[in-house]
Amino acid sequence: MTSARGPSGPGVAVLIALVQAVGTAIASRGGSGPGVVGYALLVVSGLALSDRHRLPRVTAVVVAALTVTYHLLGNPVGVTTVLAAVFAAGACFAEGRSLAAWAVAAASFGAVVLVDGVRGGAALTLAAWLLGAGILLQVLVMMGGLAGQMMTEQRRLHEERQRRQASDERLRIAQELHDVLGHHLSLINVRAGVGLHLMGRQPEQAQAALDAIQQTSAEALREVQSVLTVLYPSGQAAPREPAPGLDRLDDLTVDAGIPVHTTVSGDERPVPAEIGRAVYRIVQEALTNVRRHAGSGATATILVDYGPQALTVRVDDDGGGRPVPATEPVDGNGITGMRERTTALGGTVDARRTDTGGWRVDARFPLPAAMSEATA
């Protein structure tokens, strides 16, 4: 059980001692106040609270004995004369020593009844007051414990949410790096192969291939830097390139290393940045897979359809004369990354082999309702 501890230490004990002594002096002004012994009992009972959480039962017994002695000596009675007893009982309840608190209260009641000769209605009134005050105090302590547990749980949930967000961000960065590096390295590999093939026979074409490798590697470095800027505190490193999106699809197709034909249909309009970025990465990964796995004469087609309710992108390749294998390959990291990107935005993706030996990637992203209604 989690205890609902309040403020602890000698500071609170000194404060209670002062409040009891000064408060009683003010309340009894104009009348007969407690004597030196009475004030001493009030101060000592308050100071005894300094160990109330470490030794709750001992503290409750000591404070109750001092408080009862004060009242049995005929000193003025008031709220300020029982504050130490209330705090001691609250410490017992908070530390799970409820039985001790009730036992001390019962013993105090018995001492007052036996020694002071309280009888009849006065005894019943005192018993009712002790019972009601004890129940109220225990309820308040329990509510404080529940509030403390709720605050602890809120902190735990907040920390868990932060850890989950950090994990999601690391996964997003890993996916971005996979797509960027896979795309550009495969393109560099194709260009390097062409350069080696033409080096002796057509040096000017080999030079063009080397120039393309230089440009591709520079673009890869820029994109990697753009992805990694999220790892730096705000203001330390600003992105030097615009975030990839639908408006940069031409950058993928112009220098794709294979013939690519792009078709756009529907009512072309701006879409949320996260959808545009996901489409860009899916097309990038699909073209990378074509260069890796298709035949040397493969061609690809890209269809982007702006529908009323969703944005659909399709990437097809003809296989380049590659024979159709007997079994379907297992999904790799690229297809898994496509699926995770699309699912995170509420969409769907389907990647499958076609009858020609090529691949088809279909991705569908639902558009926000406001954009759909604007085009209706």
Looking at the chain, the whole-number percentage of residues with pLDDT higher than 70 is: 72
- List the single range of 18-22, 42-46, 300-304, 321-325 with lowest mean pLDDT: 321-325
Is residue 291 a part of any domain in this protein?
Answer: yes
Domain count along the chain: 2
Q: Assess whether pLDDT exceeds 90 at residue 313.
A: yes
Arithmetic mean of pLDDT, 126-152: 75
Is residue 153 a part of any domain in this protein?
Answer: no
Q: Which of 118, 139, 158 is the last residue of a domain?
A: 118
Q: Assess whether pLDDT exceeds 60 at residue 276.
A: yes
Arithmetic mean of pLDDT, 51-66: 86
Is residue 90 a part of any domain in this protein?
Answer: yes
Is residue 140 a part of any domain in this protein?
Answer: no
Is residue 5 a part of any domain in this protein?
Answer: no
Arithmetic mean of pLDDT, 80-96: 83
Is residue 347 a part of any domain in this protein?
Answer: yes
Range of the domain at 108: 10-118
Q: Which residue has the higher pLDDT, 242 or 68?
A: 68
Q: What is the pLDDT of residues 217-270, one digit of tens each?
A: 766 766 776 666 655 554 444 445 556 788 888 877 776 677 888 899 988 888
Question: Which CATH number characterizes residue 255's domain?
Answer: 3.30.565.10
Q: Assess whether pLDDT exceeds 50 at residue 373.
A: no
Q: Assess whether pLDDT exceeds 80 at residue 137.
A: no
Q: Which of 118, 142, 169 is the last residue of a domain?
A: 118
Is residue 345 a part of any domain in this protein?
Answer: yes
Burial of 248 (0-12, 13-18, 19+ CB in 10 A): middle
Q: What pLDDT, on the 0 to 100 scale, is given for residue 2?
A: 43
Q: Are 275 and 247 in contact (CB under 8 A)?
A: no
User: What's the chain's average pLDDT?
Assistant: 76
Q: Assess whether pLDDT exceeds 50 at residue 35.
A: yes
Q: Assess whether pLDDT exceeds 90 at residue 81.
A: no
Q: Which of 67, 91, 118 is the last residue of a domain?
A: 118
Is residue 165 a part of any domain in this protein?
Answer: no
